[in-house]
Amino acid sequence: MEHGTVILRANWILPISGDPIADGEIVVQNGQIVEVRPRSDAAGNGVIDFGDAILMPGLINGHCHLEYTALRGLDDRTPFFDWIRALVELKAQCPAELWLPSALLGAAELIASGVTFVSDNTDSGVSAEVLARAGLRGRVYQEVFGIEAQPDDAAILRELSAKLDALRATLARYEATERITLGVSPHAIYTVRDSLMRAVRQYAREEGLPLSIHAAESSEEVALARSGSGSFAEMFAARKINYLHPRTPPIEYLHNAGILASDVQIVHATRAEPREMEMMARSGVSVAHCPRSNARLLTGIAPVYAMRRLGIPVVLGTDSAVSAGSLDLWEELRFAALAQRAASYSAQPSWRDWISMLTLDGAKAFGVDTQVGSLEVGKRADIVAVRTHRLAFSSMPDPYAALVLVARSEDVALTMVEGRILYRDGKFMGLDVEAARRSLSELLAQHK
Ligand SMILES: [Zn+2]
């Protein structure tokens, strides 16, 4: 066996781009997949035989806020408006040094769940360093807010540009510019005024940066956009903010304002109306679906079945640990698949479709499918192994159904990004999780 070669072997291989292979192995060299084949008799140090397990591409978490991980459980309000107000107040009280260890612990939770690519929206900007240090692949969207009259759009854009420069410098320092790309997230229509939304769109277009926007998430947001009424409108009136509501639902507004394009990710779209879905399909946007967050915050169930029928790419995301409770993408997957069945009375998407959304479809939505998303020769070796030892896996003939209905983070035996093992059998390689945990509890103790 050639030096530096690793062979991963298991009872099942799910290439995603093709049918499952029983009893197979993946040959990895220099971070690349060089062969996917039936089990050979190769032996030696470089062979890792997982036995009863499924080898598959690393999971793609399509939407997250890693920096809020440490705030989990500190805020359990509903409905959505009360929840987000409480989060804003909580954030304001947190020391700036909190975000880095908080996000590092979130990244660890993702890696232990088999995630190899994460799309993260960040206010503090720590995500770039965290993803780079953790060895993850991903997209970092720098958040933008601006609903009060001051600072003006030009000042906010100058600040955004400086923040992006800092993120670029961080990625360069960690030699992670290939693995991690940048974008901009004008947060939502109730936190970003119309002129700023348009200015950010223009800026992102000039800079070649993709956008991520939370839209059509809650009934409060829809009421604000349609009729200038409800909790958000009352808050703006109390704070003397002059909000000109567009008199259309949120996604229709974004469409009419020329914001939507194929480089835009809409987060949630739980309240998307049929006409808005047609606008989304025409403009080529993708959707990040975060069903546990939506359920927890009483914002409903996104019309995934209808969106997919229109050809809108849908990826799964955990959203933050504050709203979802955990960053276990398997929990998200199971909840998503079952809630859609319950809501749509349809067996579509199929189990296989859901696993595709978590891997190859996700990679396509982020434009990285030539590199990752499936187990194919020439692609980067972003691979996970899921053990199928537990009783609940027995007599499950379909590996896709087994993954959707049974798998959880604790079953993940290996997480590999570009041939580098980040996690194996409960141990993190490289990421000092205990140090992050210690600095976090020290900070929290100081700020009690
Ligand atoms: Zn979010």
- Each residue of 29-85: pLDDT tens digit? 999 999 999 999 999 999 999 999 999 999 999 999 999 999 987 667 889 999 899
pLDDT in tens, 6-36: 999 999 999 999 999 999 999 999 999 999 9
Specify the pLDDT at position 396: 81
Residues 6 or more apart in contact with residue 397 via CB below 8 angstroms: none
What is the C-alpha separation between 108 and 95, in angstroms, rounded?
A: 21
> Ligand 1 centre and the CA of 300: distance in Å?
15
Mark the residues whose beta carbon lies below 5 A from ion ligand 1.
319
* Displacement of CA 63 from its chain's centroid (Å): 3
Cis bond before residue 79 (omega within 30° of 0) = yes
What is the C-alpha separation between 189 and 64, in angstroms, rounded?
A: 19
> Ligand 1 centre and the CA of 50: distance in Å?
35
> Ligand 1 centre and the CA of 308: distance in Å?
21
> Ligand 1 centre and the CA of 293: distance in Å?
9
CB atoms inside a 10 Å sphere around CB 103: 29
> Ligand 1 centre and the CA of 299: distance in Å?
13
Angle value at C-alpha 435, between 432 and 437, nearest 5 degrees? 110
> Ligand 1 centre and the CA of 34: distance in Å?
37
Angle value at C-alpha 231, between 225 and 235, nearest 5 degrees? 100
Q: In the CATH scheme, what is the code of domain 59-365?
A: 3.20.20.140
Instruction: Report yes or no: 419 and 379 within 8 Å, Cβ to Cβ.
Output: no
What is the C-alpha separation between 294 and 292, in angstroms, rounded?
A: 5
Residue type, 379: K
> Ligand 1 centre and the CA of 23: distance in Å?
39
Specify the pLDDT at position 77: 86
Average pLDDT over residues 305-320: 97
Residue type, 391: L
Work out the angle between the directed axes of helices 219-227 and 231-238 (0-180°, nearest 10): 60
Residue type, 293: S
Residue type, 343: A
How far are the Cα atoms of 72, 197, 339 from residue 348, in angstroms, in the given order? 32, 35, 12
* pTM across the whole model: 0.97
Where along the chain do its domains lie?
Answer: 5-57+371-433, 59-365
Specify the pLDDT at position 446: 86
Q: At 389, list the tokens.
A: 């030892």
Cis bond before residue 349 (omega within 30° of 0) = yes
Does 2.30.40.10 match the CATH number of domain 5-57+371-433?
yes
